[in-house]
Amino acid sequence: MASVGANQKSAEWVLGAGEEFRFEVDFKHTIEIKLKHGHAEYFGAELGREASYSFSGENGVVFSWEGCTLTVIGECQSAYVAGETPMDSCINVHMALQQLRVQARSDSANGPRVIIVGPDDSGKTSLARTLINYAVRMGETPLYVDLDPMDASVTVPGTVSVTPMSKTVDIETGFMSYAMSSSAGPPDTPLVWQFGHEQPTDNAELFNLLVDRMAAAIGRHTANNSQSATSGLFVDTRGFTDAAKCETIDHAISALGITTLLVVGSERMYSLLSNRPFAKEGVTVIKMARSGGTVDRSAMFRQQYNSRIIQQYFYGTPKEPFSSFSTVANFQEIRILRVGEDSIAPSSTLPLGETRMLTDTSVLAVEPDEALTHSILAVTDASMDLEGDSVAGMQALGFVNVTVVDMEKKRLILISPVPGRLPKQVLLYDVESLRSALPTDMHSKEIIFIPINNSNSFVHVEGGSGSHWSLLIYVKHVNPTYHYYDSMANINYQYALAVKSKLDAILFGAGSQGPPMITHSCPQQENGSDCGIFVILYTDLLARRYNDLRLPPPIQPTNRVSMPPPVPPRPRRLRKFSAEPDTTRHAASIALHNRRNSSQPQSSSLPTRPSTYHDSSDDSSGVIRRPMSPFVRSSNTRNRMAVRPAMLVAPVIERAFWWIDYADLCNPLKARTTLQALVNEHCTRYNNIATSLN
Ligand SMILES: Nc1ncnc2c1ncn2[C@@H]1O[C@H](COP(=O)(O)OP(=O)(O)OP(=O)(O)O)[C@@H](O)[C@H]1O
């Protein structure tokens, strides 16, 4: 978090009783908030008078019961005072829970166990944080159970955890401060389990197993700590609205002995959950209003947020920086395992009659290779000789980051938050870490454009820490293929390979070779700074090419499709910029243009489809049928991706890569003068394409 500059503007905000100051500040800016007069709190934690609190990449709220004056230094994306807040119902819930704690103390029973559910960004974590802070301020020591792996607030993303709370949540670093050993003593150290997926339903079996392990740990903890037992616990969950996803909630409610369920911001969910069996078995279901201040966070925001959490795990915060340490682990000294299915392909894609051989908690050995680079590995409590699925529910002692995989010396170079050798040698690999960068419904995507960077940093660095960008494209059709474009003599080739092998592991199973990667000749940059522009232009041109070739109206199964011949590649000419217009290419473009503008396939004016493109789905009558691909979408709407006739896939893909129209790029004068100007347009196009792909 950068500090606020001396010349930043400062503003004074006056809050009346029961009002709150809401602000949004992005990751590029930092603001400082000081309480000048009165009393105020940040999600239930009291602000110290004249103490200065810094925020960056945060949507926050300072609330005052009695009124206060704040000084805010720095630039917010939005800042306002609101009078309508759900704080009254929040304090009512807190008081009711406090009565239950007092009752539990006199009965020597467990205190209230609360689970908070609701849609994404409805304010579940904020409510949990506020109620925990109120409880702690009354001398309670509740447990905080984080069952939101995507938004893991205690350690790295992809995990679930339980933390005993004996002090209010740190205003600046949130729950993360509990994972920092220097600020939390051993009694407050969180227990963490590696889950490795974003949604509990991605591997419900493993998720439920971890909840069971967590429940056992909580049982041991509360058996020896009556104060903690009577203080109860708060469970934060992953956002959901779908009734089908209740299964993991049902399990958590029964395993953790939940007594109260708070439903935030959804009438529908409230009604749905009020009718579940647990509601009839004594769990109180309470509806909570969503605060008008909660903000829907974009995928980019979440990614940057998670990046910062990882950075804080290894390097601490600006106020409390850590040193991280480098350590070496030889391949033969360690076991790297991953838990769960080989591939995220759904069961429905298996050949008819086949069932999966593995359960979702099966443990698979991972052979170290380049794909491990930049991975976060959980160091587990398991011993080297522990066999089978018992490793799956093992607690994570901590996390290391793989900076180098040295295949020659057969060793990993790791960054660890603590010095010395690894305490244990069984490491859990989370191949899914790449998934956050991929579309959620990846199986329905036909083309994935993946910008490749040669950065060695595993966390987001403002402005980027690498020096070169190139483009990898994954094209899924009958025969999936990767295509690689690099504007500087393929210098990012090894990085593209590393990403490819990670994708292979996700798409085709751990250890799979995956489909081939074709490296294409393409225009080369002439300076040291245009790589990003070239990536945008390659993406734009190729995406446009795919879209253009899809422009003819949906072809009925009875239509005979005639394709124009492929234009042969001209690598030399493409590399050498020429001022002269290329008439051959121009003619080919016109032919394509004519075909696009016609409402019927131009079988008469264009040569017929080359026989090499015929696939087994063509029958003798020349009628082309849709090839049987598990991923073919059947929608006949005019959605660009959906209407694309599957039988065009193979020829289109081949020609798309041959038929790149570099006319604009190949005129050196034009390229020089317009490249920069084009960037904005191309960025917009790129965004449009990304949106349509999403
Ligand atoms: N009253 C408020 N005013 C301003 N911002 C708020 C308020 N309450 C919550 N927020 C912000 O809104 C965002 C979403 O809130 P929160 O993280 O609590 O939601 P969530 O339901 O836990 O989200 P998730 O989908 O990750 O589970 C956060 O950035 C939070 O800081």
Query: N- to C-terminal Cα distance for the chain?
Result: 31
Same domain, residue pair 384 and 518: no
pLDDT at position 188 is 65
Same domain, residue pair 236 and 369: no
Which ligand 1 atom is at minimum distance from the Cα of 293? 3
pLDDT at position 502 is 74
Closest protein CA for atom 16 of ligand 1: 123
pLDDT at position 189 is 76
pLDDT at position 604 is 28
**CATH code, domain with 24:** 2.60.120.1030
Is ligand 1 within 6 A of the CB of residue 564?
A: no
Please check if 670 is assigned to a binding site: no
Is ligand 1 within 6 A of the CB of residue 148?
A: yes
Same domain, residue pair 56 and 97: no
Q: Which two tokens stand for residue 366?
A: 């991972």
Same domain, residue pair 126 and 59: no
With a cut of 50, list the residues of the chain below it in pLDDT. 1-2, 182-186, 342-352, 354, 356-357, 431, 458-464, 549-676, 678-679, 682, 685-686, 689-690, 692-694
β-strand pairing of 41-42 with 363-365? unpaired
Q: Which of 63, 85, 107 is the last residue of a domain?
A: 85
Q: Would you call 582 a catalytic residue per the annotation?
A: no
CA atoms within 13 A of residue 222's CA, in its CB half-sphere: 27
Q: Would you call 531 a catalytic residue per the annotation?
A: yes
**CATH code, domain with 417:** 2.40.30.330
Residue 417 in any domain: the answer is yes
Q: In the block, which residue shows the tokens 């790449």?
A: 434
Q: Write the CB contacts of 281 (distance below 8 Å, at least 6 apart in sequence).
A: none
Strands (E), 477-528: 481-485, 517-519
Nearest alpha-carbon partner for 569 in 650, 489, 657, 649? 657
**CATH code, domain with 686:** 3.40.395
pLDDT at position 646 is 22
Same domain, residue pair 622 and 485: yes
Predicted-complex ipTM score: 0.96
Which ligand 1 atom is at minimum distance from the Cα of 120? 25
pLDDT at position 546 is 66
Same domain, residue pair 127 and 164: yes
Is ligand 1 within 6 A of the CB of residue 61?
A: yes
Same domain, residue pair 365 and 470: no
Same domain, residue pair 57 and 103: no
Contact 131, 44 (CB under 8 A): yes
Closest protein CA for atom 1 of ligand 1: 293
Q: In total, how many domains does the chain have?
A: 4
Q: Which two tokens stand for residue 470?
A: 């190139």
Residue 171 in any domain: the answer is yes
Same domain, residue pair 158 and 112: yes
Same domain, residue pair 631 and 689: yes
pLDDT at position 388 is 58
Contact 558, 598 (CB under 8 A): no
Same domain, residue pair 201 and 273: yes
Q: Would you call 212 a catalytic residue per the annotation?
A: no
pLDDT at position 385 is 63
**Residue 426: in which H helix or E strand, if any?**
strand 426-429
* Residue 408 neighbours by CB distance under 10 Å: 5
Q: How far is CA 324 from CA 311, 521, 662, in A?
A: 10, 41, 47
Is ligand 1 within 6 A of the CB of residue 417?
A: no
Please check if 122 is assigned to a binding site: yes
Residue 307 in any domain: the answer is no
Residue 309 in any domain: the answer is no
Same domain, residue pair 55 and 70: yes
Tens digits of per-residue pLDDT, 98-115? 999 999 999 989 999 999
Is ligand 1 within 6 A of the CB of residue 121?
A: yes
Q: Which of 37, 64, 85 is the last residue of a domain?
A: 85
Containing structural domain, residue 627 = 440-693
pLDDT at position 182 is 44
Closest protein CA for atom 12 of ligand 1: 294
Tens digits of per-residue pLDDT, 401-451? 888 888 888 888 888 877 766 665 556 565 455 555 566 666 666 777 788
**CATH code, domain with 184:** 3.40.50.300
Nearest alpha-carbon partner for 327 in 415, 234, 444? 415
